[in-house]
Amino acid sequence: SQQGEEDPQALSIQEGENATMNCSYKTSINNLQWYRQNSGRGLVHLILIRSNEREKHSGRLRVTLDTSKKSSSLLITASRAADTASYFCAIYAQGGKLIFGQGTELSVKP
Amino acid sequence: EAQVTQNPRYLITVTGKKLTVTCSQNMNHEYMSWYRQDPGLGLRQIYYSMNVEVTDKGDVPEGYKVSRKEKRNFPLILESPSPNQTSLYFCASSSGQVIYEQYFGPGTRLTVT
Protein backbone atom coordinates (compact mmCIF):
# COMPACT_ATOMS: atom_id res chain seq x y z
CA SER A 1 0.00 0.00 0.00
CA GLN A 2 1.11 3.56 -0.57
CA GLN A 3 1.45 4.79 3.00
CA GLY A 4 2.50 8.28 3.81
CA GLU A 5 5.91 8.62 5.36
CA GLU A 6 6.38 10.79 8.41
CA ASP A 7 9.52 11.99 10.05
CA PRO A 8 10.81 12.18 12.58
CA GLN A 9 9.23 9.14 14.22
CA ALA A 10 9.80 10.75 17.60
CA LEU A 11 10.60 14.29 18.71
CA SER A 12 11.43 15.54 22.18
CA ILE A 13 11.56 19.29 22.88
CA GLN A 14 11.29 21.76 25.73
CA GLU A 15 8.21 23.88 26.38
CA GLY A 16 8.32 27.07 24.35
CA GLU A 17 10.27 25.55 21.48
CA ASN A 18 8.82 24.94 18.03
CA ALA A 19 8.07 21.44 16.75
CA THR A 20 8.21 20.52 13.08
CA MET A 21 7.07 17.25 11.61
CA ASN A 22 7.09 16.20 7.99
CA CYS A 23 4.93 14.04 5.77
CA SER A 24 5.76 12.74 2.31
CA TYR A 25 3.47 10.88 -0.04
CA LYS A 26 3.46 9.28 -3.46
CA THR A 27 0.14 10.06 -5.19
CA SER A 28 -1.61 13.16 -6.45
CA ILE A 29 -3.86 14.56 -3.74
CA ASN A 30 -7.07 16.46 -3.24
CA ASN A 31 -6.09 17.52 0.26
CA LEU A 32 -3.81 16.60 3.14
CA GLN A 33 -5.09 16.46 6.71
CA TRP A 34 -3.29 16.48 10.03
CA TYR A 35 -4.63 14.72 13.11
CA ARG A 36 -3.61 14.47 16.73
CA GLN A 37 -3.92 11.42 18.98
CA ASN A 38 -3.50 11.37 22.73
CA SER A 39 -2.26 8.04 24.05
CA GLY A 40 -4.44 5.42 22.30
CA ARG A 41 -7.52 7.62 22.09
CA GLY A 42 -9.47 8.64 19.02
CA LEU A 43 -7.84 10.98 16.53
CA VAL A 44 -8.80 14.64 16.43
CA HIS A 45 -8.67 16.69 13.25
CA LEU A 46 -6.27 19.64 13.46
CA ILE A 47 -5.96 21.29 10.08
CA LEU A 48 -6.43 20.60 6.38
CA ILE A 49 -4.62 21.97 3.36
CA ARG A 50 -5.97 21.65 -0.17
CA SER A 51 -3.79 20.74 -3.13
CA ASN A 52 -3.96 24.30 -4.54
CA GLU A 53 -2.83 25.86 -1.25
CA ARG A 54 0.76 26.32 -0.12
CA GLU A 55 0.36 27.39 3.48
CA LYS A 56 -2.34 27.57 6.14
CA HIS A 57 -2.44 28.76 9.72
CA SER A 58 -4.65 27.89 12.65
CA GLY A 59 -3.69 29.32 16.01
CA ARG A 60 -0.21 27.98 16.83
CA LEU A 61 -0.33 25.56 13.89
CA ARG A 62 1.15 26.22 10.51
CA VAL A 63 1.00 23.70 7.70
CA THR A 64 2.77 23.90 4.36
CA LEU A 65 2.34 21.84 1.22
CA ASP A 66 4.78 21.37 -1.66
CA THR A 67 3.02 19.31 -4.33
CA SER A 68 6.12 19.27 -6.56
CA LYS A 69 8.02 17.47 -3.79
CA LYS A 70 4.93 15.63 -2.56
CA SER A 71 5.54 16.73 0.98
CA SER A 72 3.91 18.64 3.81
CA SER A 73 5.11 20.02 7.13
CA LEU A 74 3.27 20.77 10.34
CA LEU A 75 4.80 23.38 12.62
CA ILE A 76 3.61 23.85 16.19
CA THR A 77 4.94 27.10 17.60
CA ALA A 78 5.61 27.86 21.27
CA SER A 79 4.85 24.28 22.27
CA ARG A 80 3.26 23.37 25.59
CA ALA A 81 3.35 20.19 27.66
CA ALA A 82 -0.28 19.65 26.63
CA ASP A 83 0.87 19.30 23.00
CA THR A 84 2.45 15.96 23.91
CA ALA A 85 0.73 13.48 21.60
CA SER A 86 1.14 11.58 18.34
CA TYR A 87 0.56 13.48 15.12
CA PHE A 88 -0.56 11.88 11.86
CA CYS A 89 -0.89 13.12 8.34
CA ALA A 90 -3.66 11.69 6.16
CA ILE A 91 -3.48 11.88 2.40
CA TYR A 92 -6.74 12.14 0.49
CA ALA A 93 -6.86 11.72 -3.28
CA GLN A 94 -10.44 10.90 -4.26
CA GLY A 95 -13.33 8.59 -3.46
CA GLY A 96 -13.24 7.18 0.04
CA LYS A 97 -9.64 6.12 0.50
CA LEU A 98 -7.33 7.86 2.93
CA ILE A 99 -3.71 6.97 3.55
CA PHE A 100 -2.23 7.73 6.94
CA GLY A 101 1.40 8.19 7.81
CA GLN A 102 3.00 6.19 10.63
CA GLY A 103 2.91 9.22 12.89
CA THR A 104 5.31 11.41 14.84
CA GLU A 105 5.39 11.02 18.61
CA LEU A 106 5.93 14.44 20.15
CA SER A 107 7.05 14.86 23.73
CA VAL A 108 7.12 18.38 25.19
CA LYS A 109 8.96 18.62 28.48
CA PRO A 110 7.98 21.28 31.02
CA GLU B 1 -23.38 16.30 21.29
CA ALA B 2 -21.93 15.31 17.92
CA GLN B 3 -20.11 12.06 18.29
CA VAL B 4 -19.05 8.68 16.96
CA THR B 5 -19.59 5.80 19.35
CA GLN B 6 -18.09 2.33 19.26
CA ASN B 7 -18.95 -0.77 21.21
CA PRO B 8 -17.44 -2.63 22.85
CA ARG B 9 -14.44 -0.54 23.90
CA TYR B 10 -12.45 -3.58 24.95
CA LEU B 11 -12.85 -7.18 23.84
CA ILE B 12 -10.87 -10.34 24.45
CA THR B 13 -11.97 -13.30 22.38
CA VAL B 14 -10.73 -16.61 21.04
CA THR B 15 -9.73 -17.62 17.55
CA GLY B 16 -12.67 -18.41 15.31
CA LYS B 17 -15.45 -16.91 17.43
CA LYS B 18 -17.43 -14.48 15.29
CA LEU B 19 -17.72 -10.96 16.62
CA THR B 20 -19.17 -7.61 15.64
CA VAL B 21 -17.91 -4.18 16.61
CA THR B 22 -20.60 -1.55 16.29
CA CYS B 23 -20.13 2.03 15.16
CA SER B 24 -22.75 4.74 15.23
CA GLN B 25 -22.67 8.47 14.41
CA ASN B 26 -25.29 11.13 15.13
CA MET B 27 -24.13 13.74 12.61
CA ASN B 28 -26.01 12.46 9.54
CA HIS B 29 -22.69 11.87 7.81
CA GLU B 30 -22.63 10.10 4.47
CA TYR B 31 -19.09 8.75 4.81
CA MET B 32 -17.95 6.19 7.36
CA SER B 33 -14.74 4.22 7.61
CA TRP B 34 -12.96 1.60 9.69
CA TYR B 35 -9.24 1.66 10.53
CA ARG B 36 -6.91 -0.52 12.47
CA GLN B 37 -3.90 0.85 14.31
CA ASP B 38 -0.83 -1.23 15.03
CA PRO B 39 2.47 -0.06 16.57
CA GLY B 40 4.80 1.39 13.96
CA LEU B 41 2.25 1.09 11.16
CA GLY B 42 0.00 4.07 11.77
CA LEU B 43 -3.64 3.69 10.77
CA ARG B 44 -4.60 1.44 7.92
CA GLN B 45 -8.00 1.61 6.31
CA ILE B 46 -10.07 -1.58 6.36
CA TYR B 47 -13.35 -0.64 4.67
CA TYR B 48 -15.24 2.53 3.95
CA SER B 49 -18.75 3.52 2.93
CA MET B 50 -19.65 6.56 0.87
CA ASN B 51 -23.35 6.19 1.71
CA VAL B 52 -26.06 3.68 2.61
CA GLU B 53 -25.60 0.35 0.80
CA VAL B 54 -22.29 1.57 -0.72
CA THR B 55 -19.16 -0.01 0.73
CA ASP B 56 -15.65 -0.54 -0.61
CA LYS B 57 -12.36 -2.06 0.41
CA GLY B 58 -9.54 -0.11 1.96
CA ASP B 59 -5.95 -1.29 2.18
CA VAL B 60 -6.40 -4.23 4.56
CA PRO B 61 -9.89 -5.74 4.08
CA GLU B 62 -8.96 -9.42 4.40
CA GLY B 63 -10.77 -11.15 7.26
CA TYR B 64 -13.32 -8.37 7.75
CA LYS B 65 -16.85 -7.64 6.56
CA VAL B 66 -18.99 -4.54 6.81
CA SER B 67 -22.52 -3.48 6.03
CA ARG B 68 -24.27 -0.12 5.78
CA LYS B 69 -28.00 -0.62 6.01
CA GLU B 70 -28.66 2.66 7.84
CA LYS B 71 -26.88 5.96 7.52
CA ARG B 72 -25.90 6.17 11.17
CA ASN B 73 -24.50 2.64 11.65
CA PHE B 74 -21.47 0.90 10.16
CA PRO B 75 -20.68 -2.38 11.96
CA LEU B 76 -17.40 -4.24 11.49
CA ILE B 77 -17.72 -8.02 11.42
CA LEU B 78 -14.95 -10.53 12.02
CA GLU B 79 -16.38 -13.86 10.89
CA SER B 80 -13.46 -15.95 12.14
CA PRO B 81 -11.02 -13.81 14.12
CA SER B 82 -7.36 -14.75 14.20
CA PRO B 83 -4.52 -13.52 16.46
CA ASN B 84 -3.16 -11.26 13.69
CA GLN B 85 -6.38 -9.23 14.01
CA THR B 86 -5.42 -8.21 17.53
CA SER B 87 -5.34 -4.45 17.18
CA LEU B 88 -6.87 -1.09 18.09
CA TYR B 89 -9.82 -0.34 15.83
CA PHE B 90 -11.25 3.07 15.01
CA CYS B 91 -14.43 4.07 13.27
CA ALA B 92 -14.67 7.51 11.66
CA SER B 93 -17.26 9.54 9.80
CA SER B 94 -17.31 12.60 7.57
CA SER B 95 -19.87 14.62 5.69
CA GLY B 96 -20.04 14.93 1.91
CA GLN B 97 -18.50 13.05 -0.95
CA VAL B 98 -15.11 14.76 -0.57
CA ILE B 99 -13.37 13.93 2.70
CA TYR B 100 -12.30 17.10 4.48
CA GLU B 101 -12.48 16.24 8.15
CA GLN B 102 -13.10 12.93 9.85
CA TYR B 103 -14.63 12.50 13.30
CA PHE B 104 -13.21 9.49 15.10
CA GLY B 105 -14.72 7.18 17.67
CA PRO B 106 -12.87 6.37 20.91
CA GLY B 107 -11.50 3.06 19.65
CA THR B 108 -12.03 -0.64 20.34
CA ARG B 109 -9.11 -2.63 21.67
CA LEU B 110 -9.44 -6.20 20.44
CA THR B 111 -7.34 -9.13 21.60
CA VAL B 112 -7.71 -12.50 19.85
CA THR B 113 -6.08 -15.43 21.66
Q: What is the pLDDT of residues A21-63, one digit of tens each?
A: 999 999 899 999 999 999 879 999 999 999 999 999 999 999 9
Residues 37-96 of A with CB under 8 A from B: 40-45, 48, 88, 90, 92, 95-96
Q: Provide φ and ψ at A82, rounded to 5°.
A: -70, -10
The predicted pLDDT at position B101 comes to: 93
- Residues A53-108 pLDDT 10s: 999 999 999 999 999 999 999 999 999 999 999 999 999 988 899 999 999 999 99
Q: Is B82 exposed, middle or buried (0-12, 13-18, 19+ CB in 10 A)?
A: exposed
The two beta strands, B10-13 and B108-112, are: parallel
- Sign of the alpha-carbon torsion through B42, B109, B18, B73: negative
Cβ contact, residue pair A96, B56, below 8 Å? yes
Judge contact between A35 and A98, C-beta under 8 A.
Answer: no
Q: What is d(CA A13, CA A110) in angstroms, rounded to the nearest whole number?
A: 9
Partners of residue B3 on adjacent β-strands: none
Q: How far apart are the first and last CA of chain B?
A: 36
Give chain B positions within 8 Å (CB) of A6.
Answer: 42
